[in-house]
Structure 1
Amino acid sequence: MSRHYEPRGIALGVETVAAWALGILWILPLIYAVWTAFHPSEYSARFSLMAPLTLENFRRAWDAAPFARYFLNSFMLVTLVLSMQLVLCTLAAYAFARYEFRGKDTVFLLVLIQLMIMPDVLLVENYRTMGKLGLLDSIPAIALPYAASAFGIFLLRQTFKSVPRELDEAARVEGAGPLTVLWRVYVPLAKPVYLAYGLVSVSYHWNNFLWPLIVTNSVTSRPVTVGLQVFSSGDQGIDWSIITAATLMTSAPLLLAFLLFQRQFVQSFMRAGIR
């Protein structure tokens, strides 16, 4: 019996060591960032247990850029994108899951093909489109190219297809229309998937940098990730203490959200995967 389980034990040990190694590699930059942000700049390149703690780097970072405006822009951006995605992806997924129409498979294939297209490939055309619409240097210009998500449509379609048709038919017998059935039957059953997708969408668009950098020119529309570049454009060199303090402030909302909702986050992805 022991010989039978020996390879499994070795494999488990290798996986454990690999997981620890990857975890250490992931957390080392975070530890450095926290250390540097909470200590004077002269200790950014050396470690000392006697180094004094300070919040001065955070104050200087906050004063060096209009972070209040940047945070507001990022909040409005992720809210706008997620709202559009939830509405459009829900309607599209419901149509693909429960309706039959000519060219359905072809259209869905085109949706899946979008998953293989890198967003960076469309930067020029998206910029031209936003220019023609007169939306350059605005939050809608950042959000509109992401209004519909192929991943969201696929994820919700698979979830809706797993809903028993008997529930759909029972609701229609009671006189419910298509949108009522969608709202009363399908959406409540897909709440874990919505939560999982919402967390992914918010994280991605909060951290997105290249497209907002290209399409915005002023403080009034730039999100917080683009605002960070002000700390690397000085003529007197880079102050890593201020940069790490600003980076921690930028990532703090996502880290706090994950710490508060980590159980729901993991359970949502598990349920989404099971479906």
Structure 2
Amino acid sequence: MTARSLSAGIGRSVDYDRLLNSLGAWALALIWFLPLIYALWTAFHPGEFATRFDPLAPLTLDNFARAWEAAPFARYFLNTVLLVTFILVGQFVLCTLAAYAFARYRFPGSSILFTLVLLQLLVMPDILIVENYATMRMLGLVDTIAAIGLPYIASGFGIFLLRQTFMTVPKELEEAARVEGAGPLGVMLKVYVPLAKPTYLAYGLVSVSHHWNNFLWPLIVTNSVETRPVTVGLSVFSAVDQGIDWSIITAATLMTSGPLLIAFLLFQRQFVQSFMRAGIK
């Protein structure tokens, strides 16, 4: 076998592997998109077309109007926006301070403390439900938005992600800021935080997505419409108010998940780039 034929055979093998990878990716994408396609079809067509396909079926927005009127979705959305904003602001403040300290300061026990922060990533939040509920009841916060958000204010993942980003900032920039008279807090706010904006954006998308979709803990700690987020409201709405009217249920589901899909499509490039800069896959 000549060198040319050997290289040609290797090239065909590489192309074959790439073809298999592409087919596998398309198959997984199709499986992922099938529920979304069904939801789109059902939500935009009358109820009688929920279980059968008819290319001549008329399009309608009545399902969204009926879903919006059948449950207090305006209140659910307001509660959810307040919740994710409360959690995100608290996480940004605490994670920034902790990450800056771990990245730029060496103090006794810093390695042990950072290890404990990383160990938090190994603990499933569901394990702490009983203790968290007992704490919220002791504080008198049950059935409040604060009770949903307080257990998530300190994020080990956020501290780790920001620490990795802060460690890539050249120390010369910090020294230049100190020469100009900036203190430790000023250096953090004027040098480190602006350079970590892509990381904040990526972490913000992860945090908002997680807490927007969180279901179990809000279901346990809330009892009234005034404090329910949209995920809990959707479950109560679909189970009690509308039964098995899939057109209404899918329309409500699209209204619930639509903001997250739009946000990710708008910021997906910054989302991926920020994790690449932090060295995280």
Which residue, out of 12, 24, 28, partners 1:18? 24
Give the partner amino acid of 2:232. Answer: V
Say whether 1:58 aligns with 2:58: no
Check conservation: 2:100, 2:166, Cα contact below 8 A: yes
Question: What residue ranges of structure 1 are gaps of 5+ in the alignment?
Answer: none
Aligned position for 2:3 = none
Distance 1:39 1:174, change over 3 A: same
Q: Matches of 1:165 and 1:36 in 2, distance apart?
A: 56
Check conservation: 1:192, 1:271, Cα contact below 8 A: no
Check conservation: 2:76, 2:230, Cα contact below 8 A: yes
Question: What residue ranges of structure 2 are gaps of 5+ in the alignment?
Answer: 1-6
Aligned residues: 275
Aligned position for 1:267 = 273
Q: Matches of 1:144 and 1:182 in 2, distance apart?
A: 25
Q: Matches of 1:235 and 1:269 in 2, distance apart?
A: 42
Aligned position for 1:36 = 42
Distance 1:2 1:183, change over 3 A: same
Give the partner amino acid of 1:19. Answer: A
Aligned position for 1:145 = 151
Check conservation: 1:231, 1:238, Cα contact below 8 A: no
Check conservation: 1:196, 1:272, Cα contact below 8 A: no
Distance 1:47 1:86, change over 3 A: same
SS of residue matched to 2:240: coil
Say whether 1:6 aligns with 2:7: no
Distance apart, 1:236 and its partner CA: 7.6
Q: Which string of whole-angstrom CA distances, capped at 9 and with x for unpartnered residues, describes residues 65-97 of structure 1? A: 101111011101111100000110010001111
Check conservation: 1:82, 1:202, Cα contact below 8 A: yes
Aligned position for 1:98 = 104
Give the partner amino acid of 2:71. Answer: A
Aligned position for 1:166 = 172
Q: Which string of whole-angstrom CA distances, capped at 9 and with x for unpartnered residues, describes residues 162-218 of structure 1? A: 112222122112221000000111111111111111111111111111111111011
Give the partner amino acid of 2:108. Answer: R
Check conservation: 2:102, 2:110, Cα contact below 8 A: yes
Quote the RMSD (CA, aligned, Å): 1.6
Q: Output the TM-score relative to the length of structure 1.
A: 0.95
Q: Output the TM-score relative to the length of structure 2.
A: 0.93
Distance apart, 1:130 and its partner CA: 0.6
Q: What is the aligned-residue identity percentage?
A: 71
Check conservation: 1:41, 1:241, Cα contact below 8 A: yes
Distance 1:237 1:171, change over 3 A: closer
Distance apart, 1:120 and its partner CA: 0.3
Distance apart, 1:271 and its partner CA: 3.0
Check conservation: 2:100, 2:188, Cα contact below 8 A: yes
Distance 1:235 1:177, change over 3 A: closer
Distance apart, 1:269 and its partner CA: 3.2
Give the partner amino acid of 2:257. Answer: S
Q: Matches of 1:233 and 1:55 in 2, distance apart?
A: 22
Distance 1:225 1:3, change over 3 A: same
Aligned position for 1:250 = 256
Check conservation: 1:39, 1:51, Cα contact below 8 A: yes
Distance apart, 1:126 and its partner CA: 0.4
Give the partner amino acid of 1:112. Answer: L
Check conservation: 1:73, 1:221, Cα contact below 8 A: yes
